[in-house]
Structure 1
Amino acid sequence: MSLEIKNLTKKFGEQTALHNINLDIHKNEIIGLLGPNGAGKSTLMKSIVGALKIEEGEIIFDGKNITENETEVKKNIGFLPENNPLYLEMYVKEYLQFVADIHQISKEKVDEIIDLVGITPEKSKKISQLSKGYKQRVGLAQAILHAPDLLILDEPTNGLDPNQILEIRNVIKEIGKEKTVILSTHIMQEVEALCTRVILIHQGNIVQDADIADFKGKFNNLEEAFAHYTSVKIED
């Protein structure tokens, strides 16, 4: 698995959301994608998965330009957006079987993923009846059902209780042994527990791309490092 982002710039009217982003991402990395609200994290993730049109620069996934090979590339990417869009009137297993049918995946695989993310007791319920924690698990299940080479998670533990957070972290850690994960989060403990590398975006620019130890550097913790790097105004 390889992901190469070259000179990616994204503008919304007069606002530049991403400015000349260059990145190389390889197999078996769990990457913490950090940045203040409005820094450009979601824009970058949506660009990678093809949800936003690329107007300047290019993204190459496994040697293929994602704009020119959109369907083929999407088959190998899993995405859990922050708002976790689900069909609330569908039953859990029905929904995941629906996703599996799109990817031409067996029923046995659906049961395997249901077990992996810990929603077996809830599989016969309507999604609308689930707690937020279980809805997050269903969203994670749909993102990993087709065994993607790249998994992109936007705030996957948002709103979960401490036990649910630990359980979801363990699932992500297991996935990261075989796949590449890009994890956007504001929770620094999550970064420390899961990630091998940190990419920090501030005002649409990459201001840090380093392993955890180098990112932390001279600071006492990741929060201090984050506060320092995002306190500097970037000149156009």
Structure 2
Amino acid sequence: MPLLEVKNLSKSYANVDALIKMDISVNVGEIVALIGKNGAGKTTLLNCIAGNIYPTGGNILYKGETLLQKESKLNEFGILIEPTFIPYMNAADNLSILLKAAGVKSVKKNVEDILKLVGLENKKKEKTKAFSFGMCQRLGLAQALLNEPQFLILDEPFVGLDPTGKAILKNIILQKAREEKVGILFSSHDLEDVEEICDRVVLIENGRKKYDGVMDYDKKYILKCDKNIDEDTKRILLNCNIKGKEVIVDHAKELGIIFKKLDEVGINVIDLEIKQRSLYDFFKQEGGE
């Protein structure tokens, strides 16, 4: 059973359909990235899951139970969507207030640990009104991690971060998923960063899911042969793309059969090349910017 399931979810504003029959899932310990153009519906989807807005139709299940009637389950969530702070208070005090409100003991130790985790231990006494956008992003991540969540929702978490901040964030996401088995759903335009850490990508376009798949979504196996592929052999290799001496195969499981068929007609494979489009190339081809 998935940790989170979004089923047939829709959200409309007047005459605008922000989400249309959206279905996605996130498993325990899985990192799923939402990609798509600005206005595609990524943030709307995250806000529906986080309980910030109510969907027009459909359902959201967490551990098999609906979130739409059991908002107490959101206590197991860590959420980074447009974080806000008390500007005249410092970073440590902003976090301390949240922990005290939750009845957590050892507040000081918890705050120091979480600030160290996000790389703000040297900024704990600075007032947040003086924070840069990147520092606010890190403090927002600290807020999201305070309650040791089992599920993380992060909206554009890489925005405003310098290379050091990005590295810290990626390490945290990977640690939470791999070691603590936290399910993570995040949106991002930073496709290179997405490619480095996520297990699966979901492409959203105009409120609809256009693609949902693992990161080996477009791996190609290019068999380089010792002679041109003749017409008779092309008819045998119906599911392959053939260019001169090259046979292009989409799935690794088909390689054994292709090798055998080529051998039977006296064609030798002299090299095997594996190519995979970057996520950026995939995004552009699917209509992204």
TM-score by length of 2: 0.75
Larger relative contact order (C-alpha < 8 A, sep ≥ 6)? Answer: 1
SS of match in other structure, 1:42: helix
How many residues were matched structurally?
A: 228
* Distance in 2 between residues matched to 1:24 and 1:160, nearest whole Å: 28
Q: Does structure 1 retain, via aligned residues, the 8 Å contact 2:26–2:185?
A: no
Report the equivalent of 1:198. 201
SS of match in other structure, 1:45: helix
* Distance in 1 between residues matched to 2:61 and 2:210, nearest whole Å: 22
Report the equivalent of 2:87. 88
State the Cα distance separating 1:102 from its structure 2 match. Answer: 2.7
State the Cα distance separating 1:25 from its structure 2 match. Answer: 1.5
* Distance in 2 between residues matched to 1:63 and 1:98, nearest whole Å: 32
Report the equivalent of 1:97. 96
- Match for 2:127: what amino acid? K
Q: Does structure 2 retain, via aligned residues, the 8 Å contact 1:133–1:159?
A: yes
* Distance in 1 between residues matched to 2:176 and 2:277, nearest whole Å: 30
* Distance in 1 between residues matched to 2:42 and 2:99, nearest whole Å: 28
Does residue 17 in structure 1 map to residue 15 in structure 2? no
State the Cα distance separating 1:132 from its structure 2 match. Answer: 2.3
SS of match in other structure, 2:37: coil
State the Cα distance separating 1:217 from its structure 2 match. Answer: 4.1
* Distance in 1 between residues matched to 2:118 and 2:97, nearest whole Å: 17
Alignment of 1:212-227 (within 5 A): 212-214=215-217, 216-217=218-219, 220-227=277-284
* Distance in 2 between residues matched to 1:24 and 1:111, nearest whole Å: 34
- Match for 2:185: what amino acid? I
Report the equivalent of 1:234. none
Query: Which has the higher mean CA deviation after the structures are superposed, 93-102 or 222-231?
Result: 222-231
Report the equivalent of 2:171. 170
Does residue 68 in structure 1 map to residue 69 in structure 2? yes
Q: Does structure 1 retain, via aligned residues, the 8 Å contact 2:80–2:140?
A: yes
Q: Does structure 2 retain, via aligned residues, the 8 Å contact 1:92–1:127?
A: yes
State the Cα distance separating 1:191 from its structure 2 match. Answer: 0.9
Q: Does structure 2 retain, via aligned residues, the 8 Å contact 1:105–1:146?
A: no
SS of match in other structure, 1:151: strand
- Match for 1:226: what amino acid? F
Report the equivalent of 1:187. 190
Indicate the structure (1 or 2) with the bigger Cα radius of gyration: 2
* Distance in 1 between residues matched to 2:162 and 2:28, nearest whole Å: 30
Q: Where does the alignment leave 5 or more consecutive residues of structure 2 unmatched?
A: 221-275
State the Cα distance separating 1:190 from its structure 2 match. Answer: 0.7
* Distance in 1 between residues matched to 2:161 and 2:13, nearest whole Å: 32
* Distance in 1 between residues matched to 2:100 and 2:286, nearest whole Å: 45
Q: Does structure 1 retain, via aligned residues, the 8 Å contact 2:26–2:184?
A: no
Report the equivalent of 2:270. none
Q: In angstroms, what is the RMSD of aligned CA positions?
A: 1.5
Report the equivalent of 1:229. 286
* Distance in 2 between residues matched to 1:220 and 1:67, nearest whole Å: 39
**1:144-167 per-position Cα deviation (integer Å, ceiling 9, x unaligned):** 100111111111121222222222
SS of match in other structure, 2:48: helix
- Percent sequence identity over aligned pairs: 32
Q: Does structure 2 retain, via aligned residues, the 8 Å contact 1:78–1:150?
A: yes
Q: Where does the alignment leave 5 or more consecutive residues of structure 1 unmatched?
A: 232-236
* Distance in 1 between residues matched to 2:157 and 2:10, nearest whole Å: 26
TM-score by length of 1: 0.91
